């Protein structure tokens, strides 16, 4: 900065982020500008930690939209849990003239693990006090978490847009015209490329534009350098779910939207690449149970505990020789074991702790194989059932570890890595298949043959898993070397 510029009062700085400008006329002005510059440099690359949720005052539903329950949780709680999971530390909720019930609702909930502030206005909207970039969400929307993650990864003000929005769904939503960035926004734009879906990485300046009543006629935004996030470009494959899940969002306007949202949530809890029994029999039953349980005050952990109790009851029955009753109980357990995870995903309350459930699954299902083999041994006196039982345990453990190691290294499940692997996953040796063998052995009175079939199936699975994992890992090593 040249001294003569300051002396001649010919220097003006613009803060596009904060939406104001400052003429440098005095030394005090210069000091202010330097402080501002230092602050912006500190903020550069800093992850957004604050969010603003807009609460609507409309009452087309029986209660404020944000308090509408969906699978046992209000939209507001869902959004707060989502923000907390994404390391947002502070949320400001903008309350309209009828926002009192929202505040009362949260007060009754107590500490939700995230700092919550409020901005209230009886005569209209008032901007919250947020001095830097923040995440902005419309409170009456159900958002896919990947949309919010993608916004938080941006480095500039960004609007999330849906370029494939159906005209009927787009009614009443701000339309977006894009070029290199966002060129214009407004509800009545004649020419538009997508709709603003109610989520943005925002600055105070952009925030004032989005709240402006004149937005209906369209605002030109070319000079502000606002970017856009096309949600159709967000990757849809989720390794944990072993399937592609389309990016989705829903605006809650009426009861029809609620039913649609609930159905969508339940469907999206389903993992892909399953065996035939799990896909064609367990899946529809699990989804129906989850659909109804989601509105009850039953937690996923309670379902897990109940499932384990029933599982060990089956183990006890196997040891006592009630093979048919025990086998039927294992079928019940196989269904219940899918409900707890689906219930957690439908409510958006999945946790790292919940993954330990798979270890307990391993414990009770291998107790079945031990009890089944022990009963056959105790009745025959032959060591063959014990040898077969031991072989099943070793191979089943190897198959699990092989799959686990492959996913840890490659980031994708072995069962979902290639077309052949997905096909073999439908018939590979695992609990659902082994319980069918035990059921058939109990029905026809041939439990030893059931044990032989289980061991053979486990051996085949071990050979396929090991050979396929070696093939894929060797190919990956060669690619890496090239």
Q: Nearest to residue 227, comparing CAs of 186, 196, 189?
A: 196
> How many whole angstroms separate alpha carbon 103 and alpha carbon 48?
24
Q: pLDDT at residue 61 above 50?
A: no
Distances (CA, A) of 248 to 60, 120, 197, 242: 23, 30, 10, 18
Q: Are the C-beta atoms of residues 386 and 375 closer than 8 Å to each other?
A: no
User: Does residue 122 register a pLDDT over 60?
Assistant: no
Mean pLDDT, rounded, for 285-313: 94
Q: Per residue in 359-375, is it b (16+ CB within 10 Å) or e — as a string? A: eebeebbbbbbbbbbeb
Pairwise CA distance, residues 16 & 332, whole Å: 61
pLDDT for 146 equals 93
Q: Residue 191: pLDDT above 90?
A: no
User: Quick one: average pLDDT of 90-101?
Assistant: 82
Q: Which residues contact 188 (CB under 8 A, 6 or more apart)?
A: 175, 216, 217, 218
Reply yes or no on whether the pLDDT at 423 is more than 90.
Answer: yes
Rounded-to-integer distance, Cα 337 and Cα 9, Å: 73
Give burial (CB, 10 Å; 0-12/13-18/19+) of 454: buried
Residue 24: pLDDT above 60? yes
Residues contacting 102, CB < 8 A, separation 6+: 55, 64, 66, 67, 76, 93, 95
Q: What percent of the chain has pLDDT over 90?
A: 45
pLDDT score of 442: 96
pLDDT tens for residues 388-416? 999 999 999 999 999 999 998 988 899 99
Longest Cα–Cα distance of the chain, Å, equals: 106
pLDDT at residue 311 above 70?
yes
* Higher per-residue confidence, 395 vs 98: 395
Q: What is the mean pLDDT of residues 279-307?
A: 93
DSSP 412: S
> Binning pLDDT at 50, 70 and 90, where does residue 124 land?
very low
Banded model confidence at residue 180, pLDDT cuts 50, 70, 90: confident
Q: Which residues of 306-335 are buried (b: 16+ CB within 10 A; e: fewer)?
A: ebbeebbebbebbbeebbeebbebbbebbb
Least confident of 59-63, 173-177, 242-246: 59-63
Average pLDDT over residues 201-213: 81
Tell me the mean pLDDT in the region 141-154.
91
Provide mean pLDDT across the span 61-74: 78
More confident residue, 444 or 173: 444
pLDDT at 59: 46
Q: In 10 A of CB 125, how many CB atoms?
A: 17
Judge whether residue 110 has pLDDT over 70: yes
pLDDT over 60 at 475, yes or no: yes
Residue-averaged pLDDT of the chain: 85
User: Can you tell me the distance from the alpha carbon of 115 to that of 445, in angstroms, rounded to the nearest whole number?
Assistant: 63
CA distance 276 to 330: 17
pLDDT score recorded for residue 164:
85
Query: Which residues are CB-contacts of 318 (< 8 A; sequence separation ≥ 6)?
Result: 326, 368, 371, 372, 374, 375
Bridge partner list, 96: none
Residue among 231, 211, 230, 209 nearest 221 (CA): 209
Question: How much is the pLDDT for 47?
Answer: 67
Confidence of residue 215 (pLDDT cuts 50, 70, 90): low
């Amino acid at each position: 900065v040249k001294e003569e510029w300051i002396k001649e009062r010919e220097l003006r700085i613009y803060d596009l982020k904060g939406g104001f400008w400052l003429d440098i006329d005095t030394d005090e002005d210069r000091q202010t500008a330097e402080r501002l510059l230092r602050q912006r440099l500190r903020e550069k690359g800093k992850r957004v930690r604050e969010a603003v949720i807009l609460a609507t005052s409309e009452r087309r539903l029986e209660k404020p939209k944000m308090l509408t329950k969906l699978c046992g949780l209000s939209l507001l709680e869902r959004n707060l849990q989502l923000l907390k999971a994404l390391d947002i530390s502070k949320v400001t909720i903008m309350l309209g003239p009828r926002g009192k019930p929202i505040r009362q609702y949260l007060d009754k909930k107590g500490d939700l693990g995230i700092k919550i502030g409020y901005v209230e206005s009886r005569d209209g909207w008032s901007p919250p006090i947020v001095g830097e970039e923040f995440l902005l969400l419309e409170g009456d929307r159900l958002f896919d978490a990947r949309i919010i993650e993608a916004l938080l990864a941006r480095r500039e003000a960004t609007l999330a847009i849906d370029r494939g929005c159906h005209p009927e769904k787009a009614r009443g939503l701000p339309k977006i015209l894009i070029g290199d960035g966002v060129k214009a926004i407004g509800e009545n734009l004649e020419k538009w490329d997508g709709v603003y879906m109610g989520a943005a990485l925002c600055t105070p300046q952009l925030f004032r534009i989005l709240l402006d009543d004149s937005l209906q006629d369209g605002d030109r935004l070319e000079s502000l350098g606002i970017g856009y996030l096309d949600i159709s470009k967000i990757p849809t494959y989720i390794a944990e779910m072993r399937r592609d899940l389309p990016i989705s969002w829903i605006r809650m306007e009426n009861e029809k939207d609620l039913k649609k949202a609930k159905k969508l949530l339940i469907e999206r809890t389903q993992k892909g690449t399953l065996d035939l029994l799990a896909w064609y029999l367990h899946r529809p039953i699990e989804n129906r149970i989850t659909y109804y349980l989601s509105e009850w005050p039953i937690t996923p952990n309670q379902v897990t505990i109940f499932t384990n109790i029933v599982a060990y009851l089956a183990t006890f029955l196997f040891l006592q020789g009630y093979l048919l009753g025990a086998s039927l109980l294992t079928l019940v357990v196989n269904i219940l074991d899918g409900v707890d995870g689906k219930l957690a995903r439908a409510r958006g309350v999945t946790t790292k702790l919940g993954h330990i459930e798979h270890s307990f699954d391993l414990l009770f299902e291998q107790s079945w194989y031990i009890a089944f083999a022990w009963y056959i041994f105790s009745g025959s006196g032959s060591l063959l059932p014990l040898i077969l039982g031991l072989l099943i345990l070793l191979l089943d453990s190897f198959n699990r570890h092989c799959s686990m190691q492959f996913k840890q290294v490659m980031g994708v499940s072995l069962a979902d890595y290639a077309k052949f692997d997905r096909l073999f996953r439908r018939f590979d040796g695992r609990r659902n298949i082994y319980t069918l063998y035990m059921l058939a052995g109990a029905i026809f009175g041939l439990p030893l043959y059931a044990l032989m079939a289980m061991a053979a199936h486990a051996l085949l699975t071990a050979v396929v898993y090991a050979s396929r994992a070696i093939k894929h890992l060797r190919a990956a090593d060669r690619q890496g070397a090239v």
